[in-house]
Amino acid sequence: MKRFFSLKMRASRTVDGEPQHISGAEKILQEEDTPRFATALLDRAFHHAKGQPDFINLKLELLDETRILHLPALPVKTIPTDSPAEGLAKMTEILRCQMGIANAERIVALLPQCGNMRGAAIVDVVSLKRVEPDHRRGIRVTYMDDEASAGKGPSSAKNHFREAIVLGTKVANAPHLLGELCISDDPDYVTGYIASREIGYCRITCLKEKGSPVGGRIFLFRGNADDLQETIAFLEKQPVLVANVPEGIAKLPSNRPNAARDEALAPRREGGWDESFAIPSPGSSTQSDRWQRLQKALSQMEENSLRRKLLVQETSAGPRACVAGQTLLMLASNNYLGLAGDTRLVEAAKIAADKWGTGSTGSRLLTGTQREHVALEQELANFKGTEDAILFNSGYVANLTVISTLCGRDDVIFSDELNHASIIDGCRLARSRIVVYRHNDMDDLERKLREVRPTRGLVVSDAVFSMDGDIVPLPRLLELSRQ
C-alpha cells in the first residue's frame, strides 16, 4: 500500500528581533518521493529573492489516505484587463452579476485591507464583517496539492498559477463558502482571480500596479457560528488532492481585439449553461445550495438575454395566431402550405387514430413500426423516385441521424458557419473532423476542400437558412462536392 505524506517548508529570518517570512510551500506526496521534494523545497528556501533564511522548518507528516478528498480542478477562464481599475471593476461585476452577491463594491474594497497576512480573511457576505478568529494571521488553507505533480518531479520555483488553482479549488469546495477573491502579494505578479464552483477560476490579468506589495485573499462566507467552525476545519485540516490541474496558461496576445475580451467574459453560449455547472459537487453541498445555483444560472441567462420562454398560442395552426390576447400574422411556423389544418388530412388522421390508436408504443427499432408507417415511406419513395425513404419525427432528429450515420471518426465534414443547430449537433455526434467554411462562400469552401483533401468527406449546408432566409448556391456546392 502506498503511504501519503504531507511535506511542508517554511523559511524565515530574524530582522530587528522579529521573524520575517521568506518563503513557504507544501506538498502531498508518496513516501518514495519525499527525499526529492524535500531537497527541491530546501533549494527554494535557500534561493529566494527575499534573502537568506536563518530558520527553515521542514515538516513531514503521515496522512490517513482514506481521508484524502479528490477534487477536479476548477475550469479556468482568463479575463484580460489593462489596468488595476479595470480589473477591480471586472471582479466587482462578476461578483455582482455572475455570483449574485450584493454589496460587491464594498467587498472588493475590503481586499487590499485583507492582505499581507499568513492567511486569508473570511468575510461574511451579509454583515460584511471579518469573521475569522485571528485578524492578524487570517485563516491558512493547508493540506492540499496537485494530484499529478508527484510524478512530474519537483520544481524549486513557485508557480503562482498552479498553486493558486489548487488552493482555489479547495476553497471553492469548502462548506459555506460562496467563493474567493485573490491578489498576489508578490510585487511583480499583477494577475489575480475570482473563483467559485459556479463560475470556475476566473483569472483577471491586471489587478494591481507592478511593484506593489499589496495582496490579499478573501473567502466569502454565509452561515452561522457552527458553520464557520466547519468551514475553518475544512480549510485547515482536510487533505485535498486536485486532479486535472492545467499544465500552464496560454499567453494572451498583447494586441488583442475587443472580441477576445468580450468572449472571455461572456457566459458559454450553449443554452446559456455554464459548463462548470456539470462539475459534481462533493458531499458538502446541500439541497438549497443546488437550488441557489440553478436560480443563479437562470438569472445569468436572463441578464444575457439567453433565457428562452415558451410562446403559448390559443388558436389552431393557421395563417393567424392568437398570442396573449393579440391576433398576429404567422410568418414563423413551418406550416408553409397550410397542410396542418387541411380538412382532408384532419379527417384521415381521425380515421387512422380510430384504427391504430394514438401512439406508436415504442421506438422504430423495437415496437414502433406499424404497417402504415412503412406504407407511407414507400409512397414517399415512389413519389420522389427513390429506392426507399425513412421518416423521423422531427427535422432535428433527421439531421442528427443522417449525419452521424453517414460519417464517422475518419471522415471530414465541411459545414457552413450558419448551419442549423441540428446539423452542428449531427456533426458532433459523428465524431468526424469538422471544417467550418464561411457562410455561403463557395470560394472559401473550395479553398478548404483543397487544403484538407479528405479521402472521405461530407459537405453539409442548410438549403434555406432559417435565420435570414437566404439560399445556398446549390449548383456550385454540388459541383465542388463532386470534385
Binding interface with Mg ion (CB under 5 A): 185-186
CB of 223 to ligand WAQ, least distance (A): 19
Phi and psi torsions of 464, nearest 5°: -110, 120
Does residue 74 touch ligand WAQ according to CB under 6 A? no
Look at the alpha carbons of 438, 443, 446, 451 in this order and tell me if their dihedral is positive or negative: negative
Q: Which is nearer to ligand WAQ, 189 or 396 (CB)?
A: 189
CB of 160 to ligand WAQ, least distance (A): 4
∠ CA 171-174-105 to the nearest 5 degrees? 60
Residue 473 CA to residue 245 CA, distance in Å, equals 47
HSE on the CB side for 247, CA within 13 Å?
A: 3
- State the first-to-last Cα distance of the chain, in angstroms, to the nearest integer: 62
Residue 368 CA to residue 36 CA, distance in Å, equals 65
CB of 146 to ligand WAQ, least distance (A): 14
CB of 39 to ligand WAQ, least distance (A): 22
Does residue 185 touch ligand WAQ according to CB under 6 A? yes
Look at the alpha carbons of 386, 388, 391, 397 in this order and tell me if their dihedral is positive or negative: negative
- Within 283-322, the residues that bind ligand WAQ by CB under 6 A are none
Report how many residues bind ligand WAQ under the rule CB under 6 A.
24
What mask of x and - would describe binding to ligand WAQ in positions 141 to 180, judged by CB under 6 A? x------------------xx--x--x-------------
Q: Which does 267 bind (CB under 5 to 8 A by kind): Mg ion, ligand WAQ, none?
A: none
Q: Which triple of cell numbers denotes residue 417?
A: 458557419
Does residue 203 touch ligand WAQ according to CB under 6 A? yes
Q: How many CB atoms lie within 10 A of CB 75?
A: 18
Cell numbers 473567502 label which residue? 219
Question: How distant is the alpha carbon of residue 458 from its chain centre?
Answer: 30
Cβ(437)–Cβ(458) below 8 Å: no
Q: Which is nearer to ligand WAQ, 191 or 300 (CB)?
A: 191
Which of 184, 196, 238, 419 touches ligand WAQ (CB under 6 A)? Answer: 184
CB of 227 to ligand WAQ, least distance (A): 19
Question: How distant is the alpha carbon of residue 432 from its chain centre?
Answer: 23
Q: Which does 361 bind (CB under 5 to 8 A by kind): Mg ion, ligand WAQ, none?
A: none
Identity of residue 309: K
CB of 20 to ligand WAQ, least distance (A): 14
Cβ(117)–Cβ(215) below 8 Å: no
HSE on the CB side for 295, CA within 13 Å?
A: 8
Cα→Cα distances 229→106, 152, 172, 225, 233, Å: 25, 36, 16, 7, 6
CB of 462 to Mg ion, least distance (A): 54
Q: Which range, of 114-122, 317-325, 339-347, 348-356, touches ligand WAQ by CB under 6 A?
A: 114-122
- Within 452-481, the residues that bind ligand WAQ by CB under 6 A are none
Q: Which does 117 bind (CB under 5 to 8 A by kind): ligand WAQ, Mg ion, none?
A: ligand WAQ
Residue 279 CA to residue 72 CA, distance in Å, equals 8
What mask of x and - would describe binding to ligand WAQ in positions 216 to 255, judged by CB under 6 A? xx--------------------------------------
Footprint of ligand WAQ (CB under 6 A): 115-117, 119-120, 138, 140-141, 160-161, 164, 167, 182, 184-186, 189, 191-193, 203, 215-217
